[in-house]
Amino acid sequence: MNISKKVALFTPLLLLLAFSCKTETKEEKQTVNYAKELHSYARPNISAIKHLNLDIDVNFDTEVISGKATYTIENNNASNIILDTKFLEIDKVEADGKETTFKLGEFDEQLGQSLSIDITNTTKTITVSYKTTDKTEALQWLSPQQTADKKYPFLFTQGQAILTRTWIPIQDSPQIRITYDATVRVPKELMAVMSAENPKTKTADGVYSFKMKQPISPYLMALAIGDIEYKAVSNRTGVYAEKSMVDKAHFEFSDMEKMVVAAENLYGDYDWEQFDVIVLPPSFPFGGMENPRLTFATPTVIAGDKSLTSLIAHELAHSWSGNLVTNATWDDFWLNEGFTVYFEIRIMEAVYGKDRANMIALIGRQDLDDEIETLKKEPNRTKLKQDLKGKSPDDAMNSIAYDKGYLFLRTLEQTVGREKFDVFLKDYFKTHAFSTITTEKFLNYLNANLLEPNNVTFNTEEWIYQPGIPSNQAIISSDKFANAEKAIQQFLKSDTIDASITKDWTTLEWVHFIRNFPKTMTAEDMSRFDDAFDLSNSTNSHIAMVWFEQAINLDYHGNHVDQNIENFLIRVGRRWYVDTLFKAFKRNDKVEEALAIYEKSRANYHSVTANTIDELFGLDKH
Ligand code: BES
Ligand code: ZN
């Protein structure tokens, strides 16, 4: 046996030794023990990125981002470091400033390619020079026509769940935490903002510098560039939007500071200093995305009456559940979203009262029943803890994580009492701040800190590891919704509609009213309701969406509803809306109609939405 073989044999032992020494020397940072990860090629136990310095040019003519990503790394005696990439062109790689060799692994449709970089056990930094390509999935480049003001192009990124690797080579696992600085060069008519400390005005030269000093997970890296302005709501909250939207956004979100105060009163200080929202063009594929310090939001929440702002409470809540305490793997996604829905509804209760909070909860409860019905042939997918081996993280992104997660926490709250539950949650966020958590770790923490000390027995394992809804579920009810249901019956029974019943209804009552039309309702009834309330022309996106869905279900075509559906699907790229409507077409054997619209709308969608709809109709990726 030659020496090098001996060394190779002993390497694991040496590593172990190095590892145990590490925990003993206080000056050295404790190495995190990373959980098994299905959706990243990185092996952070051997070498992990800690800080990113990003230096990029954004070219709107060629629609390419190019530049350098320099990482400070934690090196546990490694001979290489592995990053995730997808659809990136790698030009050159350096280790401590000297060019080094690298290898791109085989391409996987979901995960992309590993980028294995040769380093030595003393390497402290690596630099990757790269470019994005036209396949890059995180980015959506918008023409002026696709913006509110129609003058300048726009660009935004969407990182969650595993798309950051398509615009930055990175260790793209939620268990990784990095701080970052960035220099971003953009056309000087435009402003750039990131999930970081942000400018409030444009610079003269189009060069922007950013700093994120708290460690965040890679899926929270975010960048938006457009002809935008800032308007403060309070000294730590405010909105970014295009000129024609900024006052509307400022009015709509004028309760932001109240929400932050309510959140802090519940579960401890807001740790990120600033909480701003950027209102993006309508193709943004989500309602909201909780990028730290700067939530990205769809303009479809701007209803003119603050009726859809629970979305802001939701994204704000992620500043604790998600951004501070992060799901370790996408199998644990319910820890992000279930806690966030619970927290969102508590914020809404604190700011607007119990009625509104309960209506939000009940809408989610109904979504949960619908989801369980949809998944009736795949009951394993109704477990909170998911098993995504061989699957896309997108598979876990449904009502189970959100609404079953919520129902679990609400049932726990009801069992132990709100007072104890709030103390527990506040401690939970504090204890796990800036770290990641697996379902198992949460379970242990719950037993040790809430259930055992209070002598409570609770079927936690059933809630987390079994399909469906356990029988001890909390019952959610709302008098207002009960009245809306009565109104349906009343209007269906009589020839004339007494519209006065609805005069104090809020958006949520309208949504509930429309969603609960009986399956036997006729197109004539739809027409009578439309005459009374002009729902086909509603300017509230949520009301319009559920009404459109019913028009498709019940074969109603009056009052320009078909044209409005088509226009809506062409303008709005919010996946939840688009998916709901295309699914309704499909369910009702109207695929041809749907595809005629999709032909016109697809080019406006971000890849996240386009991929979902392609899959729905079994289309090949274009
Ligand atoms: N983090 C999610 C959005 C997300 C989830 C993006 C999974 C990518 C993968 C965000 O916080 C969210 O849940 N948004 C919701 C709004 C909310 C009020 C339920 C949405 O976009 O509809
Ligand atoms: Zn969320």
Query: Which structure tokens are listed for 511?
Result: 């949504």
Percent of the chain's residues with pLDDT above 70: 95
What is the average pLDDT across 293-320? 98
Is 286's C-beta closer than 6 angstroms to any atom of ligand 1?
Answer: yes
Q: Please give the torsion angle defined by the CA atoms of residues 354, 357, 361 and 363, in that order, rounded to the nearest 10 degrees.
A: 110
Rounded to an integer, what distance in angstroms lies between the CA atom of residue 622 and that of residue 609? 13
Bridge partners (DSSP) of residue 155 are: 141, 225
Other beta carbons within 10 angstroms of residue 242's beta carbon come to 23
Query: Which structure tokens are listed for 534?
Result: 């002009």
- The predicted pLDDT at position 620 comes to 81
Classify residue 621 as exposed, middle or buried by CB count within 10 Å of its CB (0-12, 13-18, 19+): exposed
Q: Is 96 helix (H, G, I), strand (E, B) or coil?
A: coil
- Radius of gyration from C-alpha coordinates of the chain: 25
- Ligand 1 atom nearest to 287, measured from its CA: 21
* Digit-coded pLDDT (tens) for 266-284: 999 999 999 999 999 999 9
Query: Which structure tokens are listed for 546?
Result: 């559920």
> Of the candidates 161, 168, 173, which has an alpha carbon nearest to the alpha carbon of residue 194?
168
Q: What is the DSSP string of 559-595?
A: TTHHHHHHHHHHH---HHHHHHHHHHHHHTT-HHHHH
Sign, CA dihedral 351-354-356-360, equals positive
> Of the candidates 219, 221, 172, which has an alpha carbon nearest to the alpha carbon of residue 56?
221
Q: Please give the torsion angle defined by the CA atoms of residues 328, 332, 336 and 339, in that order, rounded to the nearest 10 degrees.
A: -130
Ion ligand 2 residues within 5 Å by Cβ:
337, 340
Nearest Cα residue to atom 6 of ligand 1: 160
- The predicted pLDDT at position 33 comes to 86
* Digit-coded pLDDT (tens) for 500-510: 999 999 999 99
> Of the candidates 218, 181, 206, 242, which has an alpha carbon nearest to the alpha carbon of residue 58?
206
Nearest Cα residue to atom 8 of ligand 1: 160
Is 397's C-beta closer than 6 angstroms to any atom of ligand 1?
Answer: yes
Ligand nearest to the CA of 337: 2
* Digit-coded pLDDT (tens) for 355-409: 999 999 999 999 999 999 999 999 999 999 999 999 999 999 999 999 999 999 9
Give the distance (Å) from ligand 1 centre to CA of residue 367: 15
- Ligand 1 atom nearest to 285, measured from its CA: 21
Is 191's C-beta closer than 6 angstroms to any atom of ligand 1?
Answer: no
Model confidence at 24, in pLDDT bands (50, 70, 90)? very low
> Residues for the chain: how many in total?
622
Instruction: Determine which one of 41, 219, 267, 402 is catalytic.
Output: 402
Q: Cβ contacts of residue 553 below 8 Å, gap of 6+? A: 519, 584, 587, 588
Instruction: Determine which one of 315, 337, 349, 509 is catalytic.
Output: 315
Residue to substitute in 300, 314, 335, 578 for testing ligand 1 pocket (most ligand atoms within 8 angstroms of CB) = 314
Contacts within 8 Å (CB) and 24+ apart, 27-32: 29/74, 31/74, 31/76, 32/175
User: What distances in angstroms separate CA 372 from CA 283, 365, 366, 461, one per listed residue?
Assistant: 29, 11, 10, 19
Rounded to an integer, what distance in angstroms lies between the CA atom of residue 388 and that of residue 331? 6
Give the distance (Å) from ligand 1 centre to CA of residue 397: 9
CA 452 to chain centre: 33
Q: Cβ contacts of residue 175 below 8 Å, gap of 6+? A: 32, 34, 35, 37, 44, 217, 326, 328, 329, 436
- The predicted pLDDT at position 622 comes to 55
Is 174's C-beta closer than 6 angstroms to any atom of ligand 1?
Answer: no
User: What distances in angstroms separate CA 90 from CA 94, 167, 274, one per listed residue?
Assistant: 12, 11, 35
* Digit-coded pLDDT (tens) for 574-602: 999 999 999 999 999 999 999 999 999 99
Give the distance (Å) from ligand 1 centre to CA of residue 575: 10
Model confidence at 4, in pLDDT bands (50, 70, 90)? very low
- Ligand 1 atom nearest to 340, measured from its CA: 11
- Ligand 1 atom nearest to 322, measured from its CA: 1
Give the distance (Å) from ligand 1 centre to CA of residue 286: 6
Ligand nearest to the CA of 338: 2
Residue to substitute in 219, 221, 286 for testing ligand 1 pocket (most ligand atoms within 8 angstroms of CB) = 286
Ligand nearest to the CA of 580: 1
Active site residue 349: no
What is the average pLDDT across 467-478? 98
Give the distance (Å) from ligand 1 centre to CA of residue 21: 42
**For 43-198, where are the E strands, in sequence order?**
47-59, 64-75, 80-85, 88-95, 98-99, 102-104, 113-118, 125-132, 139-142, 154-157, 178-185, 191-194
* Digit-coded pLDDT (tens) for 96-108: 999 999 999 999 9
Give the distance (Å) from ligand 2 centre to CA of residue 300: 16
Residue 407 falls in which region: left (phi positive, over 0), alpha (psi -120 to 50) or beta = alpha
Is 580's C-beta closer than 6 angstroms to any atom of ligand 1?
Answer: no
Query: Which structure tokens are listed for 365?
Result: 């409860």
Is 606's C-beta closer than 6 angstroms to any atom of ligand 1?
Answer: no
- The predicted pLDDT at position 31 comes to 56
Give the distance (Å) from ligand 1 centre to CA of residue 398: 10
Nearest Cα residue to atom 2 of ligand 1: 289
Please give the mean pLDDT across all residues of the chain.
95
What is the average pLDDT across 86-115? 98
Angle at Cα 47 formed by Cα 46 and Cα 51, nearest 5°?
155
- The predicted pLDDT at position 621 comes to 66
Q: Cβ contacts of residue 27 below 8 Å, gap of 6+? A: none
- Ligand 1 atom nearest to 402, measured from its CA: 19
Indicate whether 336 pLDDT > 60: yes
- The predicted pLDDT at position 1 comes to 37
Active site residue 402: yes
Q: What is the DSSP string of 465-507?
A: HSSS--TTPPP---HHHHHHHHHHHHHHHSSS--GGGGTT--H
Is 296's C-beta closer than 6 angstroms to any atom of ligand 1?
Answer: no
Whether the link from the prior residue into 161 is cis, omega within 30° of 0, is yes
Is 290's C-beta closer than 6 angstroms to any atom of ligand 1?
Answer: yes
Q: Report pTM.
A: 0.95
Rounded to an integer, what distance in angstroms lies between the CA atom of residue 183 and that of residue 71? 14
Indicate whether 7 pLDDT > 70: no
Is 287's C-beta closer than 6 angstroms to any atom of ligand 1?
Answer: yes
Give the distance (Å) from ligand 1 centre to CA of residue 183: 28
Q: What is the DSSP string of 429-472?
A: HHHTTTEEE-HHHHHHHHIIIIITTTT----HHHHHHSSS--TT
Q: Please give the torsion angle defined by the CA atoms of residues 248, 252, 257 and 260, in that order, rounded to the nearest 10 degrees.
A: -130
